[in-house]
Amino acid sequence: MRIDIISIFPEYFAPLGVSLIGKARERGILDVHLHQLRDWAHDVHRTVDDTPYGGGPGMVMKPEPWGEAIDAVLAADQDARPRIIVPTPSGVPFTQRLAMEYAAEPWLLFTPARYEGIDSRVMAEYGSRLRVDEVSIGDYVLAGGEAAVLVMVEAVGRLLPGVLGNARSAVDDSFAPGEMENLLEGPVYTKPPEWRGHEVPEILLSGHHGKIARWRRDEALRRTARNRAELLAALDPATLDKHDRRLLAELGLLP
Ligand code: JEB
């Protein structure tokens, strides 16, 4: 997969050289291209922002540098078109489903902004020619889109074939369609079996794989009920077995 990122802070993306994503790049699974937006601002101060039409606080990013920068990225391959992802607090929620959709694309272009965001005509211009998604990573306000891009590249990158070892597979993830959809993962433990008086739950040491799977599912249901009631409400009743129903009834969570 190719990923292009246009930003006034390309140095913000140094973490993409580290750990899982850094390894994926070394191995040629991920090809990341960073671009300085100001390279396409031609005045002496390399200005990328201006005052908002209609008044109000803050500044808005000018369309011309973004247009030239995006055109230059598109020109890198005449035979392909990237999916464009614009982080914004007013976008559609970034979910595991969207991460999986992005992981199936050959080419992504991220356009993290600063100030109050990008002049909306940039999204209109490219939205008429290619797919442009305005996406939010959560209901809180960042100072710019860069951290959101780091989050999305990590969520997408770990789904690419060959990035996670076969020891761990993305099908076990919370939020992934299937078994764990709308279920949080329960607690995890490693050695030693006792630490500062806290014991590892005995069942995990028992070697009874069937009982362990059942215990883990109970813990996942309990944790989901406690931390994310709205996810529990969204559980497909068809995915609940009789043990699930009994546990939820014990917790007073079934009609
Ligand atoms: C993303 C951003 C700003 C109003 C407008 C702009 C660019 N979940 C999220 N929270 N905040 C952002 C985001 C995502 N994705 C985000 C891009 C930009 C915030 N800002 C600051 C603040 N309020 C500028």
Say how far apart CA 107 and CA 98 lie, in whole Å.
15
Q: Catalytic residue, from 39, 101, 116, 181: name it.
A: 116
pLDDT higher than 80, residue 243:
yes
Average pLDDT across the chain, whole number: 96
What separation in angstroms does the CA of 60 have from each of 44, 56, 57, 255?
Answer: 19, 10, 10, 50
Tell me what the mean pLDDT of segment 196-211 comes to: 98
pTM: 0.97
Say how far apart CA 206 and CA 212 lie, in whole Å.
8
CA–centroid distance, residue 58 to ligand 1 (Å)? 13
CA–centroid distance, residue 210 to ligand 1 (Å)? 46
What separation in angstroms does the CA of 138 have from each of 9, 135, 244?
Answer: 22, 9, 30
Q: Catalytic residue, from 10, 52, 63, 89: name it.
A: 89
Q: Give residue-wise pLDDT tens across range 141-186.
A: 999 999 999 999 999 999 999 999 866 778 778 898 887 889 999 9
CA–centroid distance, residue 164 to ligand 1 (Å)? 30
C-beta 113 within 6 A of ligand 1: yes
Say how far apart CA 73 and CA 63 lie, in whole Å.
15
Q: Catalytic residue, from 25, 46, 158, 216: name it.
A: 158
- Residue whose Cα lies nearest atom 2 of ligand 1: it is 144
C-beta 65 within 6 A of ligand 1: no
Cβ(148)–Cβ(111) below 8 Å = no
